[in-house]
Structure 1
Amino acid sequence: MRLAVYNVENLFDRAKAMNLETWEDGRPVLEKFAELNSLLGEISYTPAARKKMADLIIALGMEKSDTGPFVILRRNRGGLLKRPQSGGVEITASGRSDWVGSLELRDEPINEHAMRNTARVIRDLEADVLGVVEAESRPVLKAFNDEIVAAVDGTPFRHVMLIDGNDERGIDVGLMSGPQFPIGRMRSHVDDRLPDGSDRIIFSRDCPEFEVTTASGNRLLVMVNHFKSKGFGGKAESDRRRKAQATRVAEIVEERLAEGWEYIAVIGDLNDTPESDPLSPLLQDAELTDAFEHPSFDNGGFEGTYGLSNPGNKIDYLLLSPKLFDKVEKGGVIRTGMWSGVRPKRWETYEELKRPQDAASDHAALWVDLDI
């Protein structure tokens, strides 16, 4: 069987702030969105918090309207704010119970060439079981599988599953599998909390466990992950979040091994490099081995999996339990949907990929063939 993982970076629609030319262009918007959303969720609003909320609403382009260029403030009931004729914004609510509504990122359609190139990568993977990172929802993932993958002469997966996670931007993790690889029991970890008494949620998205029965009758446990990004927020806090996530995943792996599971795969975009301290609980302490380390794994001449695939851009992983690693026959990387640069081109790409905007994703797709 072939196990694969791919960060598709959304399939049909993506937050406008995440769809700008570079990540740095959208980063300030996402940071302000996260800060305002956090303040709006407070039980009571202090004068300082109300002033900060007003400043952020203006900075996000919503001084005159609840609809800004990148963000929408939905107010269903109650009073949150007023906009004086003289200008500015005044927060009138004293706390979260005074109003009903939400803060949302605005979406826009994905470039059609990029969408089809994503489908081509999925087609060319020829995976039996595929972990998907940054998909909007199960209905979207199923529609993409049924319609767009089929449109590029790919074979749609029989089974499609995605459990909504903790991220409000529509970037969840899921699993697709072929007819001989049904998905059985599932377990979500969206509510796992830090053990420090803070009651903070561990996973930025989720760490779903999917039980897959192989064509040979073996049980494979797949955990799909997308760890905290380095993209916004302070480095110390981002590192702390990723380390907490890696620690919790390592604990789950240890628990499952103790329960008798032999074939376990932790796959996904972990947003950090192999030698990093945040990932050490998984890559150094846990009973898992990176598929890149297998002698039959072909990395295509590049150590990285993101951007231009430099060594410092190795952030996507197929981590395998000892007995599963022993079952690896071969593996590799598909980069034909990634922008390859121009002078010189680092790898061959699809004919339809003529501009960076046409790239299927900034991430490579990884795969391994397993004799199970």
Structure 2
Amino acid sequence: MRLAVYNVENLFDRARAMNLDKWADGKAVLDKFAKLNALLGKVAYSGADRMRIAGLLVELGLEKSDSSEFVILRQNRGKLLRRPRTGGVEIVADGRADWAGSLELRDEPISEQAMQNTARVMIDVGADVLGVVEAENRPALWEFNTGLIATLGGAPYRHAMLIDGNDDRGIDVGLLTGEQFPIGNLRSHVDDRLPDGKPVFSRDCAEFEVTAPSGATLLVMLNHFKSKGFGSQQASNAKRRAQAARVAEIYQERRAQGYELIAVMGDLNDTPDSEPLQPLIEGTTLKDIFLHAVFDDGGRPGTFGPCGAGNKIDYILLSPALFGKVTAGGVFRKGVWPGSRPAKWEAYPEVSRPNEAASDHAAVWVDIEF
């Protein structure tokens, strides 16, 4: 059985702010979006809250309209604000109960060439069980599978499953499996909470039970941890550590319940030696596939961007019983922009410039003999 994980950075559509040429510009929009959403979710708005909400609405281009280049404000019932003729924004709601609606990011299509290259990666990796990170939703995952993969000559996966997560940008985690690897029981942890009442997981720690042809049950725990790109470093590190600790706890619970073949996979957004990941890396019996004797990293230790040691953020962590059944493994980088002068690795001919890359992430795969 070939097991793989791949952060596709969305299949069809991606938040427009995340597609800006300058990452700092997109980050600024997403930061403001997150801060405004948090303020809008408050039960009661203080005077300071109203001022900050109004300021952020203006900064996001919503001074004159409920729609801007990057975001949309939906006021379905009640009123959040009014717009005086003299300009500016005045918040008229006293709290979240006074209006029904939402703040949404505008999406835009991913380039056709990038979509095709994403499908090529999936086809060429040839996984029987493929964890997909940053998929928009299950219909999109299924359509990409039966449409684009099939159009390029690949064999579509028989099973596709995705549980909607906590992120409002449409970057969820899902699983594709072949005919001989049906998906059974599912568990979601979107509602796991921190002591302050906030969700533990930025997306989810989704659990999928997969049955192999031999009858063995593989438990896949698919994750996408908090990125380093938004909020303070201290807050981001604390969030990832809490996520790592909760995954470690779930892993220990499953082991105690008798599960022996467990794979914890996904984009953990930090390096193996980082403090936030230690509850998972050092605090459990899970083993990183990169450390297996048969694993081939292609001469580079990372999985993201230039693939240096500081960019090792995508993982397949295996329980001891599963680690002992590994026969091969590697990193597939042909869909990642290789740079130029000179190119860092062999990429598809269709990846002739950065925006044609399938993703900034490489796929990680491992062969397991059941």
If the TM-score is normalised by the length of the shorter chain, which range does it land in? over 0.9
Instruction: Give 2:350's aligned residue.
Output: 352
Q: Which amino acid aligns with 1:168?
A: D
Query: Which letter does structure 1 place at the counterpart of 2:155?
Result: T
Q: Which amino acid aligns with 2:308?
A: N
Alpha-carbon displacement from aligned partner over 1:128-149 (angstroms, at most 9, x marks no partner): 0000000000000000000001
Match of 1:331 among 329, 332, 348: 329
CA–CA separation in structure 2 for the residues paired with 1:27 and 1:313? 19
- The 8 Å contact of residues 15 and 108 in structure 1, kept in 2 or not, is answered as yes
Aligned to 1:257: 255
**Residue 21 (structure 1) shift:** 1.5
Equivalent residue in structure 2 for 1:314, among 294, 312, 315: 312
- The Cα of 1:343 is off from its aligned counterpart by 1.2
- Aligned structure 1 segments of 4 or more residues deviating by more than 4 angstroms: none
User: What is the Cα deviation at residue 263 of structure 1?
Assistant: 0.3
Aligned residue type for 1:245: Q
Aligned equivalent of 1:189: 189
Give the counterpart letter for 1:65 in structure 2.
S
Determine if the alignment matches structure 1 residue 242 to structure 2 residue 215: no
State the one-letter code of the partner of 2:369.
D
State the distance in 1 between where 2:16 and 2:159 align.
30
1:150 and 2:161 correspond: no
AA of the residue aligned to 2:58: I
- Give the alignment of 1:123-272 within 5 angstroms: 123-194=123-194, 196=195, 198-272=196-270
Q: 1:27 corresponds to which residue?
A: 27
1:174 aligned partner, one-letter code: G
Please state how far the C-alpha of 1:281 moved relative to its aligned partner: 0.5
Aligned length: 370
Contact 1:305 1:313 in 2 (8 A): yes
- Helix, strand or coil at the partner of 2:189: coil
Partner amino acid, structure 1, of 2:260: E
Per the TM alignment, residue 22 of structure 1 is displaced from its structure 2 partner at its CA by 3.6
Which amino acid in structure 1 is aligned with residue 112 of structure 2?
E
Structure 2 residue aligned with 1:368? 366
Whole-angstrom distance in 2 between the partners of 1:369 and 1:16: 37
Question: 1:100: which partner in 2?
Answer: 100
TM-score under structure 1 normalisation? 0.99
SS at match of 2:205: coil
Alignment partners' CA distance in 1, 2:342 and 2:213: 43
Distance apart, 1:23 and its partner CA: 2.5
Q: Percent identity?
A: 64
Question: 281, 288, 291: which one pairs with 1:290?
Answer: 288
Offset at 1:76? Answer: 0.6
User: How many Å apart are 1:25 and its aligned residue?
Assistant: 2.2
Q: Is the 8 A contact 1:23 1:231 kept in 2?
A: no
Q: CA RMSD in A?
A: 0.6
Match of 1:305 among 297, 303, 306: 303
Q: TM-score, normalised by structure 2?
A: 0.99
Q: Which whole-Å CA distance do the structure 2 matches of 1:25 and 1:370 have between them?
A: 43
Residue 265 of structure 1, CA deviation: 0.2
Amino acid at match of 1:233: G
Taking the TM superposition and a 5 Å limit, the aligned residue runs for 1:269-284 are 269-284=267-282
